[in-house]
Structure 1
Amino acid sequence: MSQVCIYPKDAAAVTGNGYQAGKRLLQRIRVQLGKPSRALVSIQEFCAYTHLPEQEVRAALNAR
């Protein structure tokens, strides 16, 4: 089964930033979507926010 949600280390790896930047990015996504601070962010939500192609993000996550 493929990964459904994205974690800070995944966000950091995909964007080329550090872990803390990945945490901040996911928190900004949660705020925009009106989610609680500990809610999971799906790969689709991440891609919609960052305007990255979902297939490329999934490929990058699977390559790790």
Structure 2
Amino acid sequence: MLAEAKAFKIPHYPSRKIASYQTLRRRFLRTRDFYDHPSSVEWDAILYRDAHEPERLVFYKRDARLVIYPSDLVAIYGKSARTARRYLQYIREEIGLPKGAPVTIKDFCAQSHLDYETIHTFIMES
């Protein structure tokens, strides 16, 4: 009546190929990325899919957004929060938006003559 139980067998997972120590060392000295440190690559190979890839995948900490806030301007320019709010109000007046309306990143970049990709990447990573 009782079925015979099979013995549990531990699965075998093949290990990833790891580049030579010198290659890993050169990559670490070029990028200074802690993922590329030779001693951590072996440990990270199981946890991170892109541990041995020369180009990293980009993972943002939060969802993409379209609006720029005064706290972003504080981080970009290093000015006070009051100055950042005043600058956003100046941009609103130039564009013709009502007081308190959100300013998009594209509008900000058009007014400040900064590169959109650089600003967007900076905002998403900070």
Name the TM-score, length of structure 2 as normaliser: 0.49
The answer to which structure, 1 or 2, has the higher relative contact order (CA under 8 A, 6+ apart) is 1
For these two proteins, the number of residue pairs brought into alignment is 64
Question: Is there any run of 5+ residues in structure 1 with no aligned partner, and where?
Answer: none
Instruction: Say which structure is richer in helix.
Output: 1
Percent identical: 33
Candidates 42, 45, 49, aligned match of 2:107: 45
Pairing of 1:1-64 with structure 2 (within 5 A): 1-64=63-126
Q: Residues 38-57 of structure 1: CA distance to partner in whole angstroms, max 9, x if unpaired?
A: 10000000000111101110
How far does residue 18 in structure 1 lie from its aligned partner after superposition? Answer: 1.5
Flag structure 2 segments of 5+ consecutive residues without an equivalent.
Answer: 1-62
RMSD (Å), alpha carbons: 1.0
The ranges of structure 1 where at least 4 consecutive aligned residues each deviate by more than 3 angstroms after the TM superposition are none
